């Protein structure tokens, strides 16, 4: 395959490398992927993360294996192992299904590797179109709140919600961004803050629990978040804490938008109750394991509930920003997501 370069993933000289996002913003460590289990470990540990990028990385790896001469049985085995690595993010399943169809039909090597390249390049265009649609909704001097990380670290392109933010910034709209720290793994405080600095966007980090008082003070003009899976009725799963923001936004009359490509839509999933929610390691709540070391602050035997995602009902969403346009409540009720 040809070389493919993104912010946190690169395929160069027939080798796949991922940027370890656990060590950002202070360290940039690249890991070479040498086998299925290694890539799966990187995905599960969140060394590589973001619904689009997880799917892209898996697709490139399958394309690489095909180009290296792996047979049909080997490719299908690797594909199914990767499918199980993150149950909520549907981009992974969508991309692997495209590859599986080609593999099952006996189209190996060139066909499979080309599909992998297409997936990477398509995501860049999906991000660009979402960013353009979303930026049209951003008013000058807007104060925007965002949750988790949805930028170029999580995609092959400029990102989803952060793509909208950086595009609005490039349009000289003089925006300010409130960055939820995003407990328990601080993807906002570490990764989104880093991306805001890289783009030159004015921002301030807040604890997740500060969002309510900011909205009450009129300091939030709109909320932009990403998604890991959107059901056919518009319900969607995103990093845990998103649902809380949607409820607060509804109460304070703050526009609340979800930004995601059509590859995040699951037409076969009828509603949010049908979205599988990944349960994470209890130690992520009881302490922290990061580049600086490990810290534990809870009793050793403390019980933990640690879902990676929560589900936001469609009725709390102002609009769904996809590469094909911005959809409102009426659009969703007519079943537009089922046709994507």
Q: Are residues 316 and 257 in the same domain?
A: yes
Q: Are residues 196 and 289 in the same domain?
A: yes
Q: Is the pLDDT of residue 29 over 90?
A: yes
Q: Is the pLDDT of residue 176 over 80?
A: yes
Residues taking part in catalysis: 228
Averaged pLDDT, 227-251: 97
Any idea what the CATH number is for the domain that residue 27 is in? 1.20.120.420
Which residues are 64's β-sheet partners? none
- Range(s) of the domain holding residue 304: 136-339
Q: Are residues 159 and 100 in the same domain?
A: no
Task: Give the chain's domain count.
Answer: 2
Averaged pLDDT, 49-78: 95
CA 281-286-292 angle, to 5 degrees, is 90
Per-residue pLDDT, 110: 82
Q: Are residues 112 and 145 in the same domain?
A: no
Q: CA–CA separation, 310 vs 90, rounded Å?
A: 15
Sign of the CA dihedral with 68 first, then 98, 102, and 124 last: negative
Q: Are residues 230 and 276 in the same domain?
A: yes
On average, the pLDDT of the chain sits at 95
Domain boundary among the residues 103, 127, 151 is at: 127
Q: Are residues 8 and 102 in the same domain?
A: yes
Query: What 3-state DSSP class applies to 321?
Result: strand
pLDDT band at 138 (very low <50, low <70, confident <90, very high): very high
Q: Are residues 194 and 53 in the same domain?
A: no
Q: Are residues 151 and 293 in the same domain?
A: yes
Per-residue pLDDT, 290: 65
pLDDT band at 99 (very low <50, low <70, confident <90, very high): very high
Instruction: Please state the length of the chain.
Output: 340
- Residue 245: which of 221, 220, 267, 223 has the closest Cα? 223
Q: Are residues 120 and 141 in the same domain?
A: no
Cβ neighbours of 305 (radius 10 Å)? 7
Per-residue pLDDT, 287: 85
Averaged pLDDT, 108-132: 94
Domain boundary among the residues 96, 127, 158 is at: 127
Averaged pLDDT, 213-228: 98
pLDDT band at 292 (very low <50, low <70, confident <90, very high): low
Q: Is the pLDDT of residue 158 over 90?
A: yes
- Taking CA atoms, 230 is separated from 165, 221, 238, in Å, by 21, 24, 9
Q: Are residues 168 and 122 in the same domain?
A: no
Q: Is the pLDDT of residue 277 over 90?
A: yes
Q: Are residues 165 and 104 in the same domain?
A: no
Per-residue pLDDT, 295: 84
Q: Is the pLDDT of residue 133 over 90?
A: yes
Any idea what the CATH number is for the domain that residue 268 is in? 3.40.50.10470
Residues of the chain above pLDDT 70, percent: 99
pLDDT band at 107 (very low <50, low <70, confident <90, very high): confident
Averaged pLDDT, 62-80: 94
Q: Is the pLDDT of residue 213 over 70?
A: yes
Per the CB < 8 A criterion, the answer to whether 294 and 137 are in contact is: no
Q: Is the pLDDT of residue 126 over 80?
A: yes
Q: Are residues 271 and 199 in the same domain?
A: yes
| DSSP type of residue 154 | S
Q: CA–CA separation, 60 vs 57, rounded Å?
A: 5
Domain boundary among the residues 81, 100, 127 is at: 127
């Amino acid at each position: 395959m040809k070389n493919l370069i993104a912010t946190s993933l690169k395929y160069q000289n027939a080798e796949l490398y991922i940027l370890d996002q656990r060590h950002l913003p202070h360290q940039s460590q690249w890991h070479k992927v040498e086998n299925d289990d290694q890539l799966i470990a990187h995905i599960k540990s969140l060394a590589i993360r973001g619904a689009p990028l997880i799917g892209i990385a898996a697709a490139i790896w399958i394309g690489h294996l095909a180009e290296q001469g792996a047979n049909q049985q080997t490719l299908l085995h690797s594909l199914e192992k990767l499918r199980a690595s993150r149950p909520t993010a549907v981009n992974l399943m969508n991309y692997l299904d495209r590859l599986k169809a080609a593999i099952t039909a006996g189209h190996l090597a060139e066909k499979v590797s080309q599909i992998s390249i297409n997936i990477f390049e398509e995501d860049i265009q999906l991000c660009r179109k979402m960013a353009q649609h979303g930026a049209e909704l951003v008013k000058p001097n807007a104060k925007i709140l965002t949750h988790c990380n949805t930028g170029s670290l999580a995609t092959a392109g400029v990102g989803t919600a952060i793509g909208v933010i950086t595009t609005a910034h490039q349009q000289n709209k003089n925006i300010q961004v409130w960055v939820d720290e995003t407990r328990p793994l601080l993807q906002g405080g570490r990764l989104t803050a880093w991306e805001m600095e890289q783009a030159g966007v004015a921002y301030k980090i807040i604890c997740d629990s500060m969002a309510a008082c900011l909205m009450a003070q009129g300091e939030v003009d709109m909320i932009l978040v990403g998604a890991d899976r959107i059901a056919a009725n518009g319900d969607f799963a995103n990093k845990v804490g998103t649902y809380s923001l949607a409820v607060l936004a509804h109460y304070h009359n703050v526009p609340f938008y979800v930004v995601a490509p059509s590859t995040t839509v699951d037409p076969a999933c009828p509603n949010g109750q049908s979205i599988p929610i990944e349960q994470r390691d209890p130690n992520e709540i009881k302490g922290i394991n990061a580049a600086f070391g490990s810290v534990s602050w809870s009793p050793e035997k403390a019980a933990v509930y640690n879902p990676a995602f929560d589900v936001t009902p469609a009725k709390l969403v102002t609009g769904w920003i996809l590469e094909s346009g911005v959809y409102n409540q009426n659009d969703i009720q007519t079943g537009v997501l089922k046709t994507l």
